[in-house]
Chains A and B, each alone.
Chain A
């Protein structure tokens, strides 16, 4: 790991140390350490099964047993329940998007309780995502994949949570929608939110992120500044097998 990226405790929003996690008997994370500073967009890159999604789920307390340390805004959260972690100010957008079929679009949007001031209000959200206004009364899962992704992100922008965990928001979407999601993530960053993004597509990651962590076999094996991305392509190709 390059020295410039060595974790520093000062000014970190989220500091993860030696995080281990299990699903039942299956040991999925073997000591993950990550630091995120306020206002950054940081990606977790890696192949399928490397532990990216499990890392996000472990931060939210949604895996089984967890070990290690996850300090968010100076508070240790490793022993907190998922609802306490959510209320502490971490917004979660899961891989399968988690749009509820029995709730309409507005109900989906309003579902996560506000955890703090500073979230986007509804007019701002409707200005950013006009489709969500047009289709306010449709069942959530009748939206297109791209619209569902927008909804999944919009609803956590509303809550005021300063840290957003986005799990593969571009998965399965058409290139033009992927571009919109990219623009949206840059807009979120502009507004001062901090984002931890799981991605398989490092070309997309390159267009939105400040830094990248590479995961393999449940560990962080490398870290790359976005500015060094071009010079590190061979290394990344080797990790990601692309």
Chain B
């Protein structure tokens, strides 16, 4: 009986760890969505497209300018973030006084346009992007499984980024401005803070997080125009489960649901693609504001 159980654990562990890798992407992407929603009240449906752009910009930097992975990890979020500044200033900022639905429709339209442009330019078959030499080679032995170095790096990098983002928002003066402006933006502005600029930079930061996730994803998934839309549906389910706009909630839920997905793949593989949506339905019925959301 005990042996049986140990055997089960041994079988399950690799799937759980791989679930954690997916969870790292869920966490990073839903964190960006939470940051944007908290400040702008806009559900950024272009998030998947911006994630994809992050991967493509990394590919372009490498193949057109010879800038390697580590440079792309910094440059790509900055470039895609700058693109976010343009989107926010030119279009999204016009919708703040309207219902959430308008922001959602606009960003959904933007996502379709961005994906279309990349599909026309690069085709839909996908481009290869090799992990950096320092993260290839012999996999790391975790005792119960061998994990490719690069996947371990993704989990660590995503975790550190999430914690750093949370610290900035909860513990710094800038974070206090952000939290206060989420509650009462006009008053924060009357205190002398340039709130419109802060909103623009918050959107850019959220978009930058998506692009960072895109660069991290490039060596794992092939760089292709649909890579964002494959992810983003699941990520929206994660956001709904965690609670719209909750920073810590999005991080915990992201990693947690990655684990649940991995576990399901062991217990009942057929359900692994749908388990998150089943959980979403249950959470919506039992706690419509999400696990960590404020009603």
Contact = CB atoms under 8 A, between A and B. Distances in A.
A113 B187 CA distance: 12
Interface stretch (B81-89, B172-180, B276-284): B172-180
Nearest to B198: A83
Do most interface residues of chain B lie in helix, strand or loop, or is the interface mixed? helix
A113 B198 CA distance: 14
B182 interface: yes
Contact of B192 (A62, A100, A101, A113): A113
Nearest to B187: A98
Contact of A103 (B176, B190, B191, B193): B176
Given A100-B179, A103-B176, A111 B191 contact: yes
B190 A110 contact: no
Interface in B183-219: 183-184, 186-195
The bracket for how many chain B residues form the interface is 10 to 19
A110 B187 contact: no
A82 B190 CA distance: 5
Interface in A54-92: 60-62, 81-87, 92
Interface residues of A, number: 25
B184 A100 contact: yes
A94 interface: yes
Contacts of A103: 176, 179-180
Nearest to B195: A83
A60 B193 CA distance: 13
Nearest to A114: B192
B183 A82 contact: no
A197 B180 CA distance: 25
Given A83-B195, A110-B173, A101 B183 contact: yes
Contacts of A60: 190
A39 interface: no
B189 A86 contact: yes
Contacts of A81: 189
B294 to A, nearest CB: 9
Interface string A91-133: 0101000101111000100111101000000000000000000
A102 B191 contact: no
B176 A110 contact: yes
B190 A85 contact: yes
A83 B180 contact: no
Contact of A112 (B179, B183, B186, B192): B192
Contacts of A112: 191-192
Given A100-B180, A110-B173, 8 more contacts: A60-B190, A61-B190, A62-B190, A84-B192, A86-B191, A94-B187, A100-B179, A112-B191
Interface of B: 173, 176-177, 179-180, 182-184, 186-195
Interface of A: 60-62, 81-87, 92, 94, 98, 100-103, 107, 110-113, 115, 156, 159
18 contacts: A82-B186, A82-B190, A83-B193, A83-B195, A86-B189, A86-B190, A87-B192, A98-B187, A100-B179, A100-B180, A100-B183, A102-B180, A107-B176, A111-B176, A111-B177, A112-B192, A113-B191, A113-B193
